[in-house]
Amino acid sequence: MPSGRISRDQFHGNLDLQTTLESGQTFLWKRSDNRMYEDAPSDDVWYSTVLPADGEGTEPTIIRVTETSDALVWESNVDAEWLVTSLLRLDDDVPTIIDTIRDTAGGEPLLEEAYDAHPGLRVVRSPQFPCLISFICSQQMQVGRIHAMQTKLARTLGDTVEFNGQTYHAFPRADQLAATTEDELRNLGLGYRAPYVKRTAEMVAADDLHPGELHQYEYETARDEIQQFVGVGNKVGDCVLLYALDFLEAVPIDTWIRSAVEDYFPECDHGSYTATSRALRDRWGAYAGYAQLFLFHYLRKRE
DNA sequence: GACCAGGTAGCAA
DNA sequence: TTGCTACATGGT
């Protein structure tokens, strides 16, 4: 069974899997009850199932990760060190990124509180199509319920894989979601999002548009283009650009960020989403998305 | 029972 | 362009 250790010396900054994977930036990881090895200082194992790019007919990849004091330990059904590094963005130099935000923003007490409160929080990279669908599902939903909904989608509609004596469920492919009726999706608890998911899946399955194509555009164009998908507006679009498409300048403005703008930086409130988002990017710079995640998580968890 | 949750589509002015 | 409103569903 392929497995390995990635020493903490090999990546910059802290990593706290629990904080990072339950911060509401991804709904595609789950915590496992099974330890990976006997003397683990922490028995918190996280796993995710990833479909290879060629999709149908190829066995999904299982990734299991846990932390030790000096390393990130992984195991998989394939040699997955590069994939783990990519999914968790271990190449990101987070301290330098935070310094860059500091240099751009100047003194930002609220952000400093957020960094201090959650030192192991990182942005991670989600697979594109699952990220798109899960954020379409996220609207008007609490974070915990979004996780539960994505798990149910995978268990009901995704491919299964056996690994190390356990059954894992991959996130459904576009063709699988497109082949599901709107009523079935409603029965899985999607509510009014059911037709959004179905129609977006149909677009991807028919090759009308794939989220990966948006890489070619500069940020604001990509955000316009991604809204061709049904159920995707400015906010969901920004989440997908930030968490799946490497647009680290994207600042999703949700209810939390909206109220933080009112309370802490009203000078950035320019009314429209586009103008306010532009002001926040001017304030925080090329890594504004990192600032947004720290702020979102801090505001949501304090008190 | 209201009210809320990482909003968006559809429509009117 | 901006400003409504309806929209499912489960938890306080």
Q: How far is the CA of A195 from the C1' of C6 (A)?
A: 15
pLDDT-based confidence at residue A297 (cuts at 50, 70, 90): very high
Q: How far is the CA of A242 from the C1' of B6 (A)?
A: 13
Nucleotide with the nearest C1' to A135 CA? B6
A195: buried, middle or exposed (CB in 10 Å: 19+, 13-18, 0-12)?
middle
The pLDDT tens digits for A255-296 are: 999 999 999 999 999 999 999 999 999 999 999 999 999 999
The pLDDT tens digits for A220-263 are: 999 999 999 999 999 999 999 999 999 999 999 999 999 999 99
What letter would DSSP give residue A69? S
**Average pLDDT of every residue of chain A:** 95
Nucleotides of chain C in contact with protein CB (under 7 A) are 1-3, 7-10
Q: How far is the CA of A84 from the C1' of B10 (A)?
A: 42
The pLDDT tens digits for A22-64 are: 999 999 999 997 777 766 655 689 999 999 876 666 899 999 9
Footprint of strand B on the protein (CB under 7 A): A 23-25, 138-143, 146, 192, 196, 227, 229-237, 239, 252-257, 292-293, 296, 300
Measured from Cα to the C1' atom, the residue closest to C7 is A192
- The answer for residues whose C-beta is within 8 angstroms of residue A220's C-beta and 6 or more apart is A274
Q: How far is the CA of A62 from the C1' of B2 (A)?
A: 44
Q: Would you give the end-to-end CA distance of chain A in angstroms? A: 43
CB atoms within 10 A of CB A39: 6
Q: Any idea of the CA torsion for A139, A160, A73, A21, to the nearest 10 degrees? A: 10
- The DSSP line for A237-265 is HHHHHHHHS--TT-----HHHHHHHHHH-
Footprint of strand C on the protein (CB under 7 A): A 140-142, 145, 186-187, 189, 191-192, 271-272, 274
pLDDT-based confidence at residue A74 (cuts at 50, 70, 90): very high
Whether the model pTM is above 0.85 = yes
- Radius of gyration (Cα) for chain A, nearest Å? 19
Task: Report the run of H or E that residue A70 belongs to, with start and end.
Answer: none
C-beta of residue A248 within 8 angstroms of C-beta of residue A123: yes
* pLDDT surpassing 60 at residue A120: yes
